[in-house]
Each structure stands twice: as structure tokens, then as C-alpha cells.
Chain A
Amino acid sequence: MMEMIGGEMPSFTEDRPRAGGALFGYLADQLPAGADVLVAGPHTDQLIDALAERSAVTCLVRSEPEAIELDARGRTVLCGTLAKLPAAEKYDVVVALDGLDRLCSVEDEQLDWAASLQALKRALRPGGTLLLAVENELGVHRLVDPTTATSAQTDSAWRPLGEFDTKPGNPTRLAGKLSAEGLAIDWLGSAWPVPEAPTLIATPNALQDGPADVLAAVAASAVGSAYVEKAVLSDPRRLAAAAVRGGLGPEFAAAWLVVAHRAPRPAAALALPPVLAGDGPIVEIAPGPDGAWARRPLTGEGEAGPLPTGRLLEELLLGAALRHDLPVLRRLLTGWAAALPETTADNVVVHHDAFAVLDPSIPPQTDVIRRFAQTLLGGGYAHPWPAATDLPTLTSVLHGAAGLPDDVPPVPAEDEIPLPDSRREHEEQLRALRRQIADATSRAQWYERELNKRDKELNKLRKQVALFSGTVSFRVAKIGFGVARKARNRLRKGLK
């Protein structure tokens, strides 16, 4: 069933990915069954279908083609702009996991963030639940984005506000704005790696009091897999990890998610763990009764177990390399090669001398040391072997430092390891190449000078030889050698 509420866009379809993914799916599954749910804005079919299995779902979209499609799939659809949404308090739950940016169409009033929130709130029954995502304009995904949000050229960017938008800039202000609207926060989480499909959500408490080093590693890994071979300004893994480790996780997360209820009290409370992670199967990370943090699968297969403690091996290796701390670097490499020779450095955490796998679901890898060599070179990191500027040489050195044989079989160039495609690292590689060319040029000049010197010496020696070969004694010796040679040749012939 489709209802046109006004302001619908007949020939427009959304041109950016819709909100969805496994973690959003999990959150939606926690909503009370049998509720009246408004899904406001573009969400994936999968997410909407999952909700519709348990509740009465109404979708609000501005694109008419998308509304028709939803209608064809049997959904109840309101098509039009947010300003025309009836203020009837008729929904138990409003799901706005796409944020509030894609609710207004080109027609009618362009509501800002606060006004959009008001409009959604008015659709909610007292005690009703709001599931809202807010993109962080200073989130890691924005900081590494090579394109400028304020000059976007896509069809949906008719008002590219970027950081000039009025949405709240941190979780505290977000809570403030919600409470000003009579919405109380039940749960808040910071999300990575991108607002539309997070694979890691952690509460401020978990980030503040939890195992920061491991959570930093989990954040880096979440960001790393999202940005494989994507163009970025700088490596988002380092940014995400540094922020979480430094206690700035929420400030630099890609988005914040809130579960809030309309005053006075929630009709249904959602029980959510401190940390949710996963792209397919979801795991929760939470402190156990003994206070030790553990991992427990919530969906799919997987084993529950303690969360390994310690820091990410890759970060420890990079840190030791930057400090030129060869003894530590060698100890780490040796320990790694002995303990987990098939796990990449970005999936190993180290606590003192104990090496543990961070994410057991990642299959074993080969060539892990070469991959780390590539990280060192590709990232332009300073390290103790600055003259090893090519991958085979550095790999060979690292193998030696890890107590392995230094003869590393060459690997074909096409077997490169996919990494974030970072502009800053390109700059660094360009600088390194320029230096190598300059060095090679002056080396060539040096060789030429050396060659000239040797040529001169050779000429001098040739002249001396020529001079001496004119002397009587030399001639006598030469005749003698000639006779001897003939005699030898005769003898040889005779023997045959």
C-alpha cells in the first residue's frame, strides 16, 4: 500500500548506499515484536524485511521509484517529504538509521537537523522508541575522504552542507538536543567504519573503561576491511586506532547511534551490550562476572572466549621500527614467526610475550612478513633498515630479523596485497622515489668518475706493457713461450 503525502520525487532515486548491514540488522531485531514501526529514510531491503517479519512496518521515502518498488514488495509506504509527515502520534518505534539528511525532498521546506528530529518525534507515541544514527562530520570516514562533502556533485547533493550542518558534534550535545525534545537516551554507541553500515559499535563506557588497546585494534580492523583498495587521504586504520587508544573514540567515530524514548518512560527497554562487532555473525564484547572482558557470539557460529589482551602486533612493530628499537623489533618478529606464522600482524595482539589471534574468524594467511614489509614501505614509516627500499630486500631483512632464512623466494608483482589507497602515502612514495632517483643519478656520476680513473690507470699500464714488450728480454721470453706452446700442441696431437 502506497500513500503519496506530498513532495515526492517522481524521477529521483537515492544515489548513495542505504543504511543496512549486519549490526543494524541486529539492533532492529532487538525491537519489541508486534510494534508499529516507521522506517524513515532509505534503508536496505534486508533490514526492512527483517523488521517486517516481526512488526507492522511503514516506510517513509522521498523517491517515488523506490516507493513503488517497496509497495511492489508488499510494504506500507509513505512517499514524500518529511515536512508533510502527519504529526499523528501513531508509531511505537521510529527507525532512522540513515540519519536525518535524506528525509526532505527538493520540494517544500528544507528542515534542518533539529526540525527533522521534531518532525520524527511527533510521529512517535509517548513512551515510543527512536533508533537514530547521527553522522560525525569529524569522523574518521570524513577525515580520510579525498572528496569534499561541501562540493558534492551527485543528484542528491542539492544542499551539500557537510560540516556546516547544524547537527550535534559530539555525544554530549546529541544527548542535550534529544532531551530538549523530550527524548531520553537509553543507550548510545559510537560506530565504525562508516555511518551507513557499521561493523563495530561501542558505548562510551566501554571505550573509557574497557580494554582500550584491544578495542583500538578491533576498530582498526573494522576500518581496514571497509577501506580495502579505497582511495583515502591517509590510512584510516591508524586514525581510528590512535583515537580509541587516546580516549577519543567517540569524538572520531564515524557515527553515533542512540536508542531513545519519548518521555515519560520507555514502553520497551532494549538490552544492548557494551560492544557489538561483526559483519556477518555478530559478537558481543563485554566484561564477564569476574571483570575480564570476553567475546560471545550473538548470531551465527563462533566460539565464546576471553578477549585477548594486549596491543596490536602491527602497531607494536611500527612503534619499535619508528623508535629504531632493533632488540624489541627482533623479539616481536621472532615471537610472531614462532607463535602465529600464518596470522597477519594486524590480527595479532601481544601481551608481554604472549601472542594471540584477535579475530579467529579470519582464515590463515601466507607471506605475513612480506605483508608487514609492504606496510612499512607503503606507509612510508621510518624503520631501522632505510637502505632496504624495495620489497624483496626488506622482506629478506625482516625474515632474517625474525630468525627465518633470509633467502626469500621472489613473489610476482601482481600478487600485491590490497591496502587502503592513501594519498598521503602516495606523496611519501613519490618523495622516496625522487630521492632514490637523485641518489641513483649521483651514484651513476660517481661510477663514471671511478671508471674514468680506472681507464686512466689502465691506459698507463697498457703503455708500460707496450714499453716493456719492446725489450730484448721480453722478446726472448715471447719466443720461448711460442716454442713451448707449439711443443705442447704437438704433444696433444700426438696423444690423440
Chain B
Amino acid sequence: MHHANHFYGHAHILAEYCGLDREHPPRINGYLQHGWNVVDGLGAGTPYVPGRPIFVYSEQTRRRAWSMGRRQATVVGAPFLYLLTMRPSVEEEKREGTIWYPFHGWEGQHIAGDHERQVEEIMETERGGPVTFCLYWHEFRNDAVRASYEKYGRVICHGYRGYQWRDTDIDFLDNQLAELRRHKRVASNRLSSAIFHGIAAGCEGAVYGDPMHLDKEHRPTADRIRRSWPELHGKHLDAAAARASALSELGDGYLASPAELRAMLGWTGYYTAQSAETEAVPA
């Protein structure tokens, strides 16, 4: 339906979970939430085609989407949780140090803030082990930015999320999961998908430091996030509370069986063969 469905290889993970071809996921009959957000699950600017479901991570997101006029939000849970069910962790691996996700905007946004001071605060806080910096792909490609972090630790990138169905690194989340499982802590200066994924993958979470607001950012939203999820903000969190909160945001407990998911995404033989005739038939 929309190319954002393929971001981070989400569609590919769901196809694998459903027992279908991971390399060539069928077209999803709707929109897949492609990252944690505090709106209706859709990314800003996604052209929404009416009558199609938005497949969101959590029941809370669904309620929010309904209140914003989205009548067909459907809870499926985060693709990352589906990935976790397929990649059970082998014996507790040796975890050390922290994986740090410096907040980035997307390509069109530019962040302002004091990078130096931020990195100093990180190194001060994460003394327990090495720090790995995980950069967004466009920062990773920028030699200057990469070099500024390489002074302090390992610098990595999980891959390119893809655009217009092209160049999608379908191993993005697999790469992320592997890295997360090597670290004890996951941290960022903003609450984001990476923190939720990290906590779900067994890391301790932390969100601290200058949030590096964007030029034209809506500040009340950022403040609202801090008020709504205080248990996920701070240098050292209450692990149980943070885990419960993070798993709930990812839709833990709401994952569908492969059969149900196939039916929801429009991947059953019946639907793909007859969708044209049945679409407008009421019950």
C-alpha cells in the first residue's frame, strides 16, 4: 500500500512470521505503523487512503488514533516483537557497555544542540563499559559526524531503512537486535523506538541529556512525552516499571497468530483472490 510499510524491513518480518516469502512480502492491505509515536501511528505526511486499516503497535495508540478520526486502526503489535518470537535469545549472551542512540531528525530536519557537552555527559554516565554509538544512516555517511563520535567509542549504523521500496535493508531490525543483545544498556536523549526495542531485547533503558530540539519542533509534544512516560526517562530506571511500560507500548500480549495476521493484512488466499468482488459487500 505505502512504501513506509517496508521501512526497516517491517513487512519482511511479518511475511516471515506468517510463513511467507521474507524477501518478497505481499502487499499489505493497509498501513503499518513504522515507528513509535504519540499520534495515530502513521508517520507525518503519510498520504492516508480512506477505508484502509492502520496497523498500530498498541491499544493505547489505537484509542488515540480513533480520537483523531482514524476509524480503522487495528492493533497488531510492533514488528520487532514478532522478530523476537522468531529469534529467541540463545543463552544469556555476554552483554557489556551501552548502546547509545543520539537523537536524529529525519533527512529534512536539522538538529541544534551542543554535541560536545552531550557526549561528555554520556561518557560520564556510562562508565560501566564501552559505549557504542548508533547513528542514523545519513549521519553515519557524514564523515565529520561519524568522526566526532569515533573519538569516544565504536560507531555503527543498523542499515538503510529504505525509501519507495528501494534499497530497504531487510536485516535492519535483525542487525539492531544483534547489537542490542551485545549491550547491557540502551540509551538515548529522546524516547524513541530504539529504546523500546532495546528494553524489549533485555537491555536496561535510559533517556537523558539534552533532547536536542528541532528547529520547528512542537515543544508541548516533547513535554507531554516526558509527563506520560516518566518511568522511561532518567539515567537509571526502575527496570520492572520500564520494561512493563515499554512492552505495553510495543503491544506485548496483542501479537496475532500467523493465521490471524495473514487474514488481517490481506494475505490469505481467499482475500488475495477475491478482494475485488468482496470489498463493497456488506454483511
> Is residue B221 contacting chain A, with contact meaning CB distance below 8 A?
no
Q: In the bound complex, how far is the Cα of B47 from the Cα of A399, in angstroms?
A: 32
Partner pick for A405 among B62, B259, B261, CB 8 A cutoff: B259
> Is residue B102 contacting chain A, with contact meaning CB distance below 8 A?
no
> Is residue B98 contacting chain A, with contact meaning CB distance below 8 A?
no
A407 touches B269 (CB 8 A): yes
Q: A386-B53, A397-B263 are in contact. Are A410 and B283 (CB under 8 A)?
A: no
Q: In the bound complex, how far is the Cα of B63 from the Cα of A253, in angstroms?
A: 37
B263 touches A396 (CB 8 A): yes
Interface residues on A, range: 35 or more
> Is residue A327 contacting chain B, with contact meaning CB distance below 8 A?
yes
> Is residue B278 contacting chain A, with contact meaning CB distance below 8 A?
yes
B30 touches A387 (CB 8 A): yes
A449: nearest residue on chain B (CB-CB)? B47
A433 touches B72 (CB 8 A): no
Name the segment of B128-136, B137-145, B250-258 touching the other chain.
Answer: B250-258
Q: In the bound complex, how far is the Cα of B16 from the Cα of A350, in angstroms?
A: 36
B54: nearest residue on chain A (CB-CB)? A387
Partner pick for B50 among A404, A433, A439, CB 8 A cutoff: A439
B280 touches A436 (CB 8 A): yes
B283 touches A324 (CB 8 A): no
Residues of A within 8 A of B263 (CB): 388, 393, 396-397, 399-400, 406
> Is residue B51 contacting chain A, with contact meaning CB distance below 8 A?
yes
Residues of B within 8 A of A373 (CB): 283
Q: A387-B30, A387-B72, A436-B282 are in contact. Are A407 and B268 (CB under 8 A)?
A: yes
Per-residue interface assignment for chain B, residues 244 to 278, with 1 indicating a CB less than 8 Å from any chain A CB and 0 otherwise: 00000000011011111111100011110010001
Q: In the bound complex, how far is the Cα of B253 from the Cα of A432, in angstroms?
A: 30
B268 touches A437 (CB 8 A): no
Within 8 A of A (CB), among B66-90: 71-75
Partner pick for A377 among B52, B71, B259, B283, CB 8 A cutoff: B283
Residues of A within 8 A of B63 (CB): 324
A403: nearest residue on chain B (CB-CB)? B257
A324 touches B75 (CB 8 A): yes
Residues of B within 8 A of A330 (CB): 257, 260
Residues of A within 8 A of B283 (CB): 373-374, 377-378, 389-391, 394, 429
- A382 CB to closest chain B CB, in angstroms? 9
> Is residue B210 contacting chain A, with contact meaning CB distance below 8 A?
no
> Is residue A446 contacting chain B, with contact meaning CB distance below 8 A?
yes
> Is residue A326 contacting chain B, with contact meaning CB distance below 8 A?
yes
> Is residue B174 contacting chain A, with contact meaning CB distance below 8 A?
no
> Is residue A454 contacting chain B, with contact meaning CB distance below 8 A?
no
- B56 CB to closest chain A CB, in angstroms? 11
B282 touches A404 (CB 8 A): no
Residues of B within 8 A of A389 (CB): 282-283
A437: nearest residue on chain B (CB-CB)? B280
Q: A326-B254, A393-B278, A396-B270 are in contact. Are A443 and B51 (CB under 8 A)?
A: yes
Residues of B within 8 A of A481 (CB): none
B75 touches A443 (CB 8 A): no
Residues of A within 8 A of B29 (CB): 387
Residues of A within 8 A of B53 (CB): 385-387
Residues of A within 8 A of B169 (CB): none
B257 touches A446 (CB 8 A): no
- A333 CB to closest chain B CB, in angstroms? 10
> Is residue A440 contacting chain B, with contact meaning CB distance below 8 A?
yes
Q: In the bound complex, how far is the Cα of B270 from the Cα of A386, in angstroms?
A: 18
A438 touches B50 (CB 8 A): yes
Residues of A within 8 A of B62 (CB): 324
> Is residue B281 contacting chain A, with contact meaning CB distance below 8 A?
yes
- A372 CB to closest chain B CB, in angstroms? 12
Q: In the bound complex, how far is the Cα of B263 from the Cα of A384, in angstroms?
A: 13
A375: nearest residue on chain B (CB-CB)? B283
- B154 CB to closest chain A CB, in angstroms? 40
> Is residue A35 contacting chain B, with contact meaning CB distance below 8 A?
no
> Is residue A205 contacting chain B, with contact meaning CB distance below 8 A?
no
Partner pick for A397 among B72, B258, B260, B279, CB 8 A cutoff: B260
Residues of B within 8 A of A30 (CB): none
Residues of B within 8 A of A378 (CB): 283
Q: In the bound complex, how far is the Cα of B280 from the Cα of A446, in angstroms?
A: 17
> Is residue B59 contacting chain A, with contact meaning CB distance below 8 A?
yes
Residues of A within 8 A of B268 (CB): 396, 406-407
B253: nearest residue on chain A (CB-CB)? A327
Q: A384-B75, A393-B271 are in contact. Are A443 and B49 (CB under 8 A)?
A: yes
Residues of A within 8 A of B49 (CB): 442-443, 446
Residues of A within 8 A of B257 (CB): 330, 400-401, 403
Q: In the bound complex, how far is the Cα of B257 from the Cα of A403, in angstroms?
A: 7
Residues of B within 8 A of A384 (CB): 74-75
> Is residue A392 contacting chain B, with contact meaning CB distance below 8 A?
yes
> Is residue A233 contacting chain B, with contact meaning CB distance below 8 A?
no
Q: In the bound complex, how far is the Cα of B266 from the Cα of A394, in angstroms?
A: 11
Partner pick for A400 among B30, B47, B256, B282, CB 8 A cutoff: B256
- B268 CB to closest chain A CB, in angstroms? 5
Q: A327-B253, A386-B53 are in contact. Are A400 and B259 (CB under 8 A)?
A: yes
- A147 CB to closest chain B CB, in angstroms? 26
Residues of A within 8 A of B74 (CB): 384-387
Q: In the bound complex, how far is the Cα of B281 from the Cα of A440, in angstroms?
A: 12
> Is residue A408 contacting chain B, with contact meaning CB distance below 8 A?
yes
Residues of A within 8 A of B73 (CB): 386
Q: In the bound complex, how far is the Cα of B52 from the Cα of A249, in angstroms?
A: 42
Q: A324-B62, A389-B282, A443-B50 are in contact. Are A399 and B254 (CB under 8 A)?
A: no
Q: In the bound complex, how far is the Cα of B74 from the Cα of A68, in angstroms?
A: 67
Q: In the bound complex, how far is the Cα of B268 from the Cα of A390, in angstroms?
A: 14
Q: In the bound complex, how far is the Cα of B282 from the Cα of A268, in angstroms?
A: 59
- B202 CB to closest chain A CB, in angstroms? 23
Residues of A within 8 A of B52 (CB): 387, 439, 443
Q: In the bound complex, how far is the Cα of B3 from the Cα of A471, in angstroms?
A: 36
Residues of B within 8 A of A406 (CB): 259-260, 262-263, 268
Residues of A within 8 A of B278 (CB): 390, 392-393
Q: A384-B74, A386-B74, A393-B271 are in contact. Are A401 and B260 (CB under 8 A)?
A: yes
Residues of B within 8 A of A440 (CB): 51, 279-280
A-B contact pairs, 5 of them (CB 8 A): A326-B254, A400-B259, A403-B259, A439-B52, A446-B47
- Which residues of B are in contact with A by a Cβ distance under 8 Å? 29-30, 47, 49-53, 59, 62-63, 71-75, 253-254, 256-264, 268-271, 274, 278-283
Question: Other than the known A385-B264, A400-B263, A404-B259, what 5 A-B pairs have Cβ atoms closer than 8 Å?
Answer: A324-B59, A378-B283, A386-B74, A389-B282, A443-B52
| In the complex, the 3 A-B pairs of residues with the closest C-beta atoms, listed nearest first | A439-B51, A400-B260, A377-B283
